Each structure stands twice: as C-alpha cells, then as structure tokens.
Structure 1
C-alpha cells in the first residue's frame, strides 16, 4: 500500500452484524449458555458476583419487563451511578425494552446533572444513594422539583425490589439495530455538553471490530475499570468481550493492586485502561507476587502512550499493546494499532482506521482531502456515526455534515500506509487520564468569582495523567488577591472533582491576535517553556481519593 492522498476508502471485507444488543445476548445465551458472561469483582471483603450467559439473559429480560411496567419504548431513562453490576443489568434491560439509556457521569454535581436530564428529556432516573461523600439521593430530591418531565426515580440499592415487579406476561417490543440505544453527553468548544444519539448497530460493531484488532480470543477474559457512563466502558469493553463470546470482568473502582489480584484469580487475557492505570499496575509492589501469565494484551488510549510504557509492558508483563482512538459520536473506536505493530507505530500513531470506516484527513474549511503527510481534520463516515445530537439547540453547529461525514475536531497526518498521527486539536479540550475536559465550563465558573476578571483554561503536560487542568487567571484590579486554594474551593463547590484546575497562573493580560482573540496556544507555550510562574498551590488531601 502506498497512498498519495490522506483518504482511506473503508475496508468492507469484514461484514457488519445487523443485530441489537438484546438479540446479541439472546444469540450468545443459545450458543454458550453455561459460559461465564459477566463478573463483578469488587475489592474483598465484598463478594464477587457472576452470571453465565443464560443467567445474564434471564436477568436482562426480567429487567426489561420491570422497566416496561413504568416506561414506554422510546422513552429516555437515565443512570447516575459508578460502575456496578446493576448498571450493566439496567443497560441490557433498557436495550431489550426499547428504551434509550442516558448515561450520567457519577462525578457530576447538581447543575451538571440537571443539564443532562433536562436536555435529554429523561422521564426516569436510576441512581446510587451516595458517591464519594456526595449525598446523591438528596440531590435527586432537589432536582425533581425543577424537572417536570422526570416522573420516577429509583435508588439502585433497591434494585432487587424494582425487578421484582417484572411479570413474565409483559411482551418485549421489537427493536431495530438502527434504533437509538443510548444518549451519551459529550462536550464541544462552544457550550454545554450535547447528547450524542448512539445506536445498537454502531455500539455492537465498533466494539466487535476493536476486540478483533486487539486479538482478543474467542471465549477470552476481558477486565476493565473503565467507567460505564463512557462509550469505552459500556460498549467498547463490555460489548467487545460479549461479541467474542468472552467473559467481561468489571472492577467497580480502579485499584492497581486489586486489578493485579483480578488478573490472577480470573485468568484475565486482556485489560482495557488509560495509560495512568497501566503505569500504576506496573509500579505496584504486589506485581511481582502475582501470577500474571494469562495476561496477553493491554488496550489503551485517550492520551499519549509513551514508548517506555509500551516497552515495559512487553518486557515486564509479557503483554502487547493495542492503542485506540475514538469518539463518543462514532460509537467508539475509529482508529487502532495492532498488537503486531512495531514499537514506533504504537507510540507515534493511533493506527489505521477500523474496518468499514471511511476516513479522510480533510481541510477543515472545505472538506478537501489533504496530501499524505499534510495535517488536517479527521473526518469519518460509515455505519458507526451517531444519529446526531438530541434536540440540538438552534445555532449550534452539528458535527455531522449533510453528506454524512463526522467532523472529529482532531488534527492528524496520514502516512503512505494509512497510519494516522495526531498533531493537534481543533477542539480546545484537555485530556486528563483519558477523560475529556472542556475549558469553557470551567472558565465560566471562575468568572463567577468576584475577584476574577477573566480566566482561560488549558491543558498542561503531566507525567502521570498525560495532561492536567491549568487555569490562567486575570484578576480584578483593586480587590483582594485570592489565593489559588481559594479559587480551587470556589470551583470545587460547582464542578466535578476531575475538572478542577490543579495548576494556577496569574497574568496581567492575555496574549491576543490583532483582532483581540485570546491565543491559548501561546499560553500553553508560555507554561511549557516556564515563561509563566505558577502560583503556590497544594491540592486538598480530601480530594486525593477522587482522582
């Protein structure tokens, strides 16, 4: 292969499976009913729970019939909870009931959750009672008064009571592979998060193709602590394992030492995690005491994977890497390296496009294909593109063109063999440990502080997280100068913990273009070259566990 243009026509040799999430589970329960399908593996002394494929199907159908006693097919039901078995059972039940599952980041606070629930039109909400010191149940009570469409709310601690309402006589509806299965919220650069309409066909096949390129074996064991509210957890990992008739092992909350225990006890073949997770496993003192010979592949992405990490994984764990690049709007993975790729390919590229993904590196102004080696915006088209954003507000630009191209906002260059290398982002987001963080929301919160005249938020390089959030602040003249810790506490009361700035800089003026537009790239350069002096700041210890 020797490309001259940065265009990949799409490999159509591998067929799509035209199936819903519910029918996939029915098929697998018929083929391998006694094979373990799902394991929830919390840290001891909490008990591990297991479901065979037959048991998971029965639990999903029971969940679906309980849901249908309260909701109609096509209605939106939200889940605001961290990783847990009930989340997975609700996902399968909603899929079989023809409901649309709206996923909510469990770290969100009141206003963030209100936006997701109100803009999605959710009529039901399943939530945990509390999370990381936050009284979720109390917040739900406050939210309900402001959400007239929200009819019913259920605490997942009473999940067994809820599904006890199921009746075998309730018929399950016909669901189409092109029907919307989930609404996942993803932010842009010009406003609040938007709800991407994800469909069964895209979620199943994007996950399936990613598992295949990773070399995940039929009937293998796949472990992850990736969050289920994210497409990489609820689809990429969970459905990736299921489409290979494998076992999906869910760690409710990432703990490096306990993940090593899980690898040993469950004979895990494949782990999906952001680079930070892999680093912590490699450096954990228990690693040398665990039998990790079953582990064959590490799947990572979301931020830069350094060459030393790939090398150490190969040498010390005997594991190969597969690196993914994807977006919520594409139902998951768009490009991916193969475990057989060279070290250079693994650490300087995001791989080639996945099967059936038509992709081009385009001039963002007109969509024209760029020559090989020349940077442009990644555009992708095919089965996996979302159905758009739900109830897109007037005046907000959609990410999908009239002829079906998804504009990713990421800038890359393609080489002669179709491998892509990310060179920048049109989207002004910070990627911290695989989590996308969008500056505008944080900037608006900072500007609410009486002493802040303006604020700009950028990503700053970090050896552990890839990037962390840095705030560059211009203060109001004549007012008392707040400390970085005071501004941090101001943000902490209004934002999820992972969005909080941990590096702080004060400036008298921002660099601007001749037309007055602030040049964030100059701020990033000034920070990286130490042209700006950081403010003294020590992150409060009570938030350390929330990383």
Structure 2
C-alpha cells in the first residue's frame, strides 16, 4: 500500500503533493557520484549492439569517463555557458550529458533529424557557444551543415564525436590546479530542451538539475525499478524521456542502461534476449512495431517484466495486447517537456483495466489540479478541464521568452499544460486531448481521443489520428486519418458502420483518409496540424486544377 492510495476520496480535482521521505535535493552530477559510490562495480552502461563487441562501463568507470569529459569541456568553456549536442544515441552522448552537468554547463539538446534552418534557429535562440556533433547521421554529413548554420550564432567551438577519444584525452591530462570541479547547485540550469512542436515553432524549456534528477528518480521508484533491472532504451536522448527518465532513472536505482543507436524493432528484441532486458520506456508506436515483429519472429523475452508507455495517448487495447503477446506488465505515464517531463504515472503492480485506462496518479512531490479553462477555478472530480501541475520539476522558464513563460506558468507557479483531462475521487487522471484539438461541430464539443480509442480497437487499424476540418455549415467536421494493419483491408463504410456501434452520429468522421504513416515528432506525438494543413492544401490544389481546366 502506497502513501498515495491511503488518502480519503477527493471531491475537488486537486491533488496536493505528498512528502517524499526519501527525497534527495541533488544535481545530476551528485546523482552520478552517489551511484558510483553505491554500486561502483556493477554495470551501468552498455552500448546497444548485439555481440561481444558491445562496450560496457561500470558505475565507477562511467563517473571516471564523465569527469574526464567535464575537464576537457572546461578547457574550452566556462560554467554557465550553453553547449549544444547534435547527435543520435550513443554512450558518448550520455558521457557528454554527465560531463556537462559536472562542469556546470547547460546542455542544449538538438534533434539530429533537424535541417539546417532548424539547427540554426536553436543555436541562435539558445545562445549556444559550442556544439558537439555526430559526423554523419543516416545519409547526411552533419559537419558541413553545422558550418553553414553558424552565421548569426555565438558558437565558437565545434567538437566532433568522430574525434571524441582525442577530445577526452585532453581532459585525462588536465588537472585543475585551483581545486575540484566547479560547484553546481540543484536549482542551476542543466538543459534547454526544445518542445516537440506539435503546433508550431518549438520553444526552449530551461530545466534545472533538481527537476531532471528528481523526476527520473521518482519515475523509476514508482515503477518499482531496482538494481537488478536492465533498461533497454529506444527513446531519443535529445528528449527528456531518453536523457532524463531512463538515463537518470536507471542511474539512481542502480540499473543497467542499454542504449542502442536508434529505434529498430528487431534490434530491440534482440537486445532484450541478449542482455536479459527487464524494463523499457517507449512511445506506443514503438511497442506496436515490436509486438508485430515478435509475432513474426519470436525471441526469448521472458526476462522482460515491464514496459512503460508515454509521449502519446495509449489505447487500452494496446496495453492488453502487450500483456497477452509479450507477457509483460504495462505502465502508463503522462507529462510534458516543461515538467522534466513526467507528471503522473500508474504504479508498479497495478494492472487493473480501469487503471490502464488512465495515466495514473501524480508522482510523489507533484501537485496536479483540473481547472475550468475560462475561470481557472478548480472543478469537481469527474469534470473535464485543463490539467495544471506545480512542483520542483516544472521548468524555470522558456529560455529568453518571458511572454510565452507568463502565458504558461501563472503567478502561483502552476504550469498550464493545455491538455484536457479529468481526475477521479482517488486521484487518477485521464487525458482526453489537447484544448486546441477539441472539435466544435454545430455547437457540440467533440474530443478526438474518444474517437481514436474506438477506431484503434478495430483489428484493421494500426494507427489513427482524428482532427477537425473547417466546414461552412457546421463550423467543423470530424476527419480520421488511418494507417491500416498489415495485410488488412477496410473501407470507409466499414469503419463508419463500426463507429456507429460505439459513438453518437455527430462524432462519426465524415472525412476518411488512409495513409501509410502519420507525421510524428521525435517523442512520438502525432502532428495533427501537419495532417490538417496537408489535407487542406491538397483540397486547394485540386480546386485550382479544376478551375484551370
């Protein structure tokens, strides 16, 4: 029985923070030092490749390597400066994360899939003075792109991961004559993470050491992580899920962190078998692909005990399928980059269907309330409103953007997430969708998540996104974008008839579009605005062509 479950039932949708008796107010560097002291000779980090060539580091070795990185960085940068990293997952990325934390630098994480203009924007907006870059990502040479993107930035140093050994060697030979590494406080900035951009240009969330370290530890504790766990991590390190929840969660609970270069369903399954993996955090799309590949080519994944899901809505049918096919427990979390990132999570061992239909309760030390979007008053349990959160995990600000910060964090410190949700009498939160995604058809409010859950349960549907489209008569109409399951054939009429058994007629999509894939952010969120804009642009193009004829 947890502290959270012993509370009396709520009448209002507000969850006051628990006092965490094991709470530690620390920096990321403190967490690394503490882990090395506690689990020194245990394996901490493994390169995610199958075979004897996989490199491995103990906790002591990881601290030593990260300290060398910190000293090498301090030969080039001063504490407090901003350092960008533009690279895919690797053990060196993690050593850079820890090294920058020990050196008191603020790490600016950049998606390696970004194009030159996107990279240039992040470098300028973040005021980065240096960048560490992977020489090649997929089919692109990144170093020339960096050179072309530097105009108008403050970058004075470009460091290639291709020269990593030489770079770190500088740190091995460098002993600071004036004392230890610089003092870093828990409230100091650790990273600038750019929001996933589901609605437009990303903003830089300035995240503290305290927020990231605390969030990773609380997440790992709630899911029941322990020193025997082997975490297989497919999440991108430039995102808070990859470099925060998994990296810092495994670190602070003594787990072994296996980091593959990118998501590949077959590689992940092979790693679970080879490394005896026990835990994975992923977005739903990743888990769907892994289930499909496991059904095609089964591996021995009997060591896998828990898969946790976040970053996008999790249909109940997916959770049940994972339990059935893989034999794993399922955990579900909810958060935002701006909250380092997790706000709520289901608890270890709670596999009740009603729980897996929610995103769990607030993590220890985190406050959550549901408010009327117009009045901002707390509403009764079970009523729909905007989800707000307050804790030490909430970002300090959107970097160099006071207006956006003020629009998102109110004067009492509450982060307004822009998500619609409900809270029940026991504190379980259910997310219904984004405020901006709500469809208003002829005065009726329609929530895409409800329709998506119905459609995802259809055996011919692999992925779905529902959006509103402008309509001269109704204001908006419902459109569904569908990716069909492998080998499945289904028509618009089939799906409309199916929806009619579960939904009121006004909620049934009037526009059906079949796609081979849906546009997503790196964190797995479907970009609804891209679907809507592309569809409307296609309509305009066809109308123009018809007019010209």
TM-score by length of 1: 0.79
Report how far residue 254 of structure 1 moved: 1.4
Is the helix fraction higher in 1 or 2?
2
* Match among 346, 350, 354 for residue 345 of structure 1: 354
1:325-474 correspondence runs (5 A): 325-392=334-401, 394=403, 397-428=406-437, 466-467=463-464
How far apart, in 1, do the equivalents of 2:466 and 2:142 lie? 26
How far apart, in 1, do the equivalents of 2:516 and 2:54 lie? 38
Corresponding residue number in structure 1 for 2:124: 118
1:398 match: secondary structure: helix
Change (3 A) 1:302 1:52: same
What is the root-mean-square deviation of aligned Cα atoms in Å? 2.9
Change (3 A) 1:109 1:428: farther
Change (3 A) 1:395 1:256: closer
Report how far residue 340 of structure 1 moved: 2.6
1:369 match: secondary structure: coil
Residue-by-residue CA offset, 1:83-105 (whole Å, 9 max, x unaligned):
11111111010000000000001
Corresponding residue number in structure 2 for 1:163: 168
Report how far residue 402 of structure 1 moved: 1.0
Change (3 A) 1:187 1:513: farther
Corresponding residue number in structure 1 for 2:140: 134
How far apart, in 2, do the equivalents of 1:414 and 1:537 lie? 34
Report how far residue 305 of structure 1 moved: 2.2
* Match among 6, 10, 19 for residue 3 of structure 1: 10
How far apart, in 1, do the equivalents of 2:273 and 2:157 lie? 42
Report how far residue 374 of structure 1 moved: 0.6
**Structure 2 contact 233–280 (Cα < 8 Å) conserved:** yes
How far apart, in 1, do the equivalents of 2:297 and 2:160 lie? 41
Corresponding residue number in structure 1 for 2:70: 64
Corresponding residue number in structure 1 for 2:529: none
1:24-423 correspondence runs (5 A): 24-42=31-49, 47-147=53-153, 149-166=154-171, 167-170=173-176, 171-186=180-195, 192-285=201-294, 289-392=298-401, 394=403, 397-423=406-432
**Structure 1 contact 269–297 (Cα < 8 Å) conserved:** yes
Corresponding residue number in structure 1 for 2:499: none
Corresponding residue number in structure 2 for 1:442: none
Corresponding residue number in structure 2 for 1:511: 471
How far apart, in 2, do the equivalents of 1:21 and 1:123 lie? 22
Does 74-83 or 289-298 show the bigger shift?
Answer: 289-298
**Structure 1 contact 19–201 (Cα < 8 Å) conserved:** yes
Does 305-314 or 27-36 show the bigger shift?
Answer: 305-314
* Match among 477, 482, 487 for residue 522 of structure 1: 477
Change (3 A) 1:398 1:75: farther
Report how far residue 191 of structure 1 moved: 5.3
How far apart, in 1, do the equivalents of 2:246 and 2:399 lie? 25
1:82 match: secondary structure: coil
**Structure 1 contact 295–319 (Cα < 8 Å) conserved:** yes
Report how far residue 309 of structure 1 moved: 2.5
Tell me, which stretches of 5 or more residues in structure 1 are unaligned? 430-457, 473-509, 541-545
Report how far residue 327 of structure 1 moved: 0.8
How far apart, in 2, do the equivalents of 1:39 and 1:533 lie? 45
How far apart, in 2, do the equivalents of 1:263 and 1:257 lie? 10
